Chains A and B, each alone.
Chain A
Amino acid sequence: MIEILDVSLPIISFVLFSLLTIPVVKAMRKRKGMKTVLTLGWFSTVFIIAAIPIANLAIKYYEHPSPQPFLNITLTSEPLAIFSSTFMIDAMSIYMAIIFTIVGAVTFLYSIFYINLSERPSERYYSVMLIIIGCIIGTAFSGDLLTLFIFWEASAAGSSFLMLYRKTPSSLHATLKYLVMIIIASAFIVYGLSIVYGITGTLNFWAVKQALIALEDKHLLVTAFIFIAAGYAIEAAVVPFHMWLPDAYTAAPASSSAFLSALIDQGSYYVLLRVLIYILTPPTVLEWTVMLAVFSALTMIVGNLLALAQENVKRLIANVCIADVGYNLVAITSVTPLGIMGNLYFFLIGGITTALSFMALGILNRMGFETLEDFSGVGRRMPFTSLALLLGVFSFAGVPPLAGFIAKYLVFTSAIEANLSWLAVIGVLTSIIQAAYLLRLINYMYAKTPQEETKIKEPKKLLVPIFILVAAIIILGVYPTIVLNLIEPVIQQLPFIP
């Protein structure tokens, strides 16, 4: 039986280690020669210790399959239960926790090396990152709307520290923009939640859902839905609320952009998915598919068109992230098992691919290559970094055998299955645009002649995490069954949604 401790242990361990990190890393810094080895050792210990309870949870969960696949775990017993935090474990939250930990660990590895390159590396950076990973795993395990809100806002707000790290005027500006958006979003969500609580008298996922199905007059619910959906849409950067994303990702250091796009972005899709599919399930609770379909079409079109117009490569990739939101929304909109599968696969692959691209861009940006023009002939001067970026870019464009292809295939197929063929066609057309501008980048990298021919020495340490992710997109592209088998239990649980 899964106890409250099993669930909270991963979160607690991440938060605890985050607090310990500051003194420990500070102490390590004093020992000159051993600095890197010690830091690496410390953080691998952290991740291994935190991974054990997650693995334990997964094993416990799958060892005793219960007829009711959702486990609700409350802190206090009955009468006060509605005020207490609830955790919920199902196949989806376990899947999300696993990918958050693994992808988090790889991006973390990159950050260790990348931040150490700056003049005065700060140990607070690591600490914030660990807290965020803990909170985002908490988001995956939440079982009521308030817990979800708290954990999610903590990780979203925490990420502003990662953006701010360089303290340049542009990053200050971008962070401010992000914070304002986040605050507006959380105000919307709180307002929406209070309405929901008013209607139903509870915030627990299943209790809310049962109450809402029985609801006769849905006017108030629509208002609540608009507030909640708008709030989460702002955080997921759905067009027209996308303006903060390119600024934030461009101004942040590469390690932050990689981390944000791999974890926070995917976390925001997860929240959207959880709230829309599991609580406001159409058509029994609320019919929102048409509205969301329009927004997803808009996001795909605008995201890709914006990327088409970019000269700065990092901004271009940031705009690809917006387009990815659109593709994710297509799958959410379809409300089919295939769509959910596509979503969950896309969370992982989209995260890995964007993280990989931002990491490679981090190396290139450090050498002073910023715009497309600067990228001329970079393919010959920095072959390994360029190869990684090239594969990432082809994965975005959905070229097999890279993993992005399977993700896009699932998304488009789910749209056809849900009788939204027009959305699939828009998705396909925009992905042609995507191929065009991404190929333009490749054209610059490989076709144009550089101003100088000299080879540039590539930092080998930074290439290690990058090529771990490259291997991941190739392996998951050729043999996606590894991950799809993890996702399958989620699909089998869907009919159980009460």
Chain B
Amino acid sequence: MQNILLLTLLLPTLAVLVVYLTGKKSAKTAAILVALIALADIALLSTTVPVVLESAEHKYVESYYWIPVLGSSFTLFVDGISLSMAIITLILILVAALFSVNYMQKKKGLAEYYALLTLLFIGLVGVFITSNLMLFYFCWELMLVPSYFIIGGWGYKEPYRAAFKFFIFTHAGAVFVLLGIGAIFMVTGDLDMFQAQDLLMAAQPDLVKWILLSLTAGFAVKMAVVPVHMWLPDAHSEAPAPMSALLSGVIIGAGAYAILRVSLGTVFPAVAVIATDFGNQFLHGLAVFGVISAFFGSLIALVENDIKRVIAYSSIAHMGYVLFGLSLFPFQEPVTGTALTGTVLHLVNHSVSKGLLFLSAGAVMKQLGIRDIREMGGLAGQMPVTATASTTSALSIGGVPPFACFISEFLIFVGAFQTINNDSFYLLPTALMLVATVLSLAYALRYIRHIFLGPTKLKRAKDAPFFMKCAMTILMVFVIVLGIWPAFFLDLINTVSFV
């Protein structure tokens, strides 16, 4: 087959209308349809795995005629990193759709909900599998609009307020990305990430610096790095649980992926060649922001009492780790060091762990109708599956072996120690990061203790219904398997080299 990736994108695109019409009749069928499409996409993408692993370039590329005048063709590609991210995204979409069956029951306008979810699907997958910056931006913004309506239409309290904040913040970030992309086009005349990478080497140093800053700042908003994180706690906590899982699992991960792929992958090599000092300062800056985010997120998660806000702040903390990891890898010798592998693996692991944590929190909220963790307690006996899911994911987030996030955090730290040899600046940030991991274990334990352990405060809470259990079990399996046997994703990620 020659059009696997195109099909991956076309399938959800064509399905939007079908899902909407099905949803009018039966919401459950629509949800299962979305899940099936995600499954079909996983199947399609997994056919490219052998190509990525075995071909000489470790890439699979498709290109179609699009806008030649703007140096853009409809280029779809996967390499190890994008394939890992795309697969994990699809798994989360599948799980979110299944979880919605029970979770969204009795809510209005479910046909629209599932249609928007499918629309979001296109953006989420598209962002990871394109190498054309224009198409990348299309998908980047396509993540935004459906999210806005999902958060606003089916969220809690004052959902449109949170959604508004989310839209404005991330759109403001996105226009700076657009400025950067425009500047890249102007300098190179080509919008392919890999072509542009070489062509940028010949550009004026000053301009490239600005491109790098503008792009990174724009992406950082989506990634919710402190101080541009303000949209995240609101959006994540007000959104319906499946959407929170996608937001926290994939959308902010997409921000990190974009920094890796576009800022560091496309633009940074040019900066490193023509302005070495600036390049170093830039990476140090990223590390500092990473440390700040990690501490800020962890500390607030320690004192927050709203069940979803705890998790939301922990996402900020984890993006701090990722940013720290990203700042390391260009320093490493050889460039494909442990830091890069660890960072990307952390994105994957964080996706499943945080997705699961949000889903289980959603299950708790749905069954109890409250969201203050001080009012909960002793739920372990009443909601065994939810409790197991929560505990697994919280321990993974806390960095406890043998759960998923442990491995990747470990790899990031190995990378950090390797880097200290080359650049002594990293001594202090690494030490601080180690302290932050302790904090993250602390809030994870606090979260479990408040909700599931201790005396029973609420009588007769029932465990989650069937589809919610299913969804949580799938992710639980991933959290444990990825912790014990990360080889699949490690192999994929290790094929990528940034030179």
Binding site for B on A (CB under 8 A): 338, 341, 394, 397-401, 405-406, 408-410, 412-413, 416-417, 421, 424-425, 428, 431-432, 435-436, 439-440, 443, 446-447, 479-481, 484-485, 487-488
Contact = CB atoms under 8 A, between A and B. Distances in A.
27 contacts: A338-B186, A398-B175, A399-B141, A400-B142, A401-B141, A405-B141, A410-B70, A412-B178, A413-B182, A416-B183, A424-B182, A425-B179, A428-B179, A435-B167, A435-B168, A443-B160, A446-B149, A446-B152, A446-B160, A447-B159, A479-B66, A479-B67, A480-B67, A480-B70, A481-B66, A484-B67, A484-B69
Contact of A481 (B68, B172, B182, B185): B68
A401 B66 contact: no
B58 interface: no
Interface of B: 65-70, 134, 137-138, 141-142, 144-145, 149, 152-153, 159-160, 164, 167-168, 171-172, 175-176, 178-179, 181-183, 185-186, 210
A409 B178 CA distance: 7
- Chain B at the A interface: SS class: helix
Given A399-B144, A400-B138, A446-B160, A435 B171 contact: yes
A400 to B, nearest CB: 4
B442 to A, nearest CB: 38
**Which 7 pairs between the two chains have the least Cβ-Cβ distance?**
A447-B160, A413-B182, A400-B138, A484-B69, A417-B186, A428-B175, A432-B172
A203 B394 CA distance: 78
A436 B168 contact: yes
B178 to A, nearest CB: 6
A92 to B, nearest CB: 16
Nearest to A485: B69
A421 B213 CA distance: 14
Contacts of B66: 479, 481
B142 A401 contact: yes
A479 B171 CA distance: 22
Contacts of B164: 439-440, 443
A436 B175 CA distance: 13
Nearest to A488: B69
A394 B210 CA distance: 28
Contacts of B181: 409
A197 B181 CA distance: 45
Given A400-B137, A435-B171, A484-B67, 6 more contacts: A405-B138, A409-B181, A412-B179, A416-B186, A424-B182, A446-B152
A481 B167 CA distance: 29
A493 to B, nearest CB: 15
A14 to B, nearest CB: 32
A417 B70 CA distance: 14
Nearest to A417: B186
A406 B72 CA distance: 12
A497 to B, nearest CB: 20
Contacts of A447: 152, 159-160
A408 B70 CA distance: 13
Contacts of B137: 400
Contacts of A405: 138, 141
A417 B159 CA distance: 41
Contacts of A440: 164
A432 B199 CA distance: 30
Contacts of A425: 179
A397 B164 CA distance: 14
Contacts of B145: 394, 399
A439 B167 contact: yes
Contact of B175 (A401, A406, A432, A479): A432
Contacts of A487: 69
B230 to A, nearest CB: 15
Nearest to A478: B138
Contacts of A436: 168
Contacts of A417: 186
B160 A413 contact: no
Nearest to B153: A446
A68 to B, nearest CB: 24
Contact of A416 (B134, B149, B179): B179
A376 to B, nearest CB: 12
Contacts of A484: 67, 69-70
B170 to A, nearest CB: 10
A327 to B, nearest CB: 13
B186 A413 contact: yes
B427 to A, nearest CB: 37
A476 to B, nearest CB: 11
B440 to A, nearest CB: 34
B110 to A, nearest CB: 15
Contacts of B210: 421
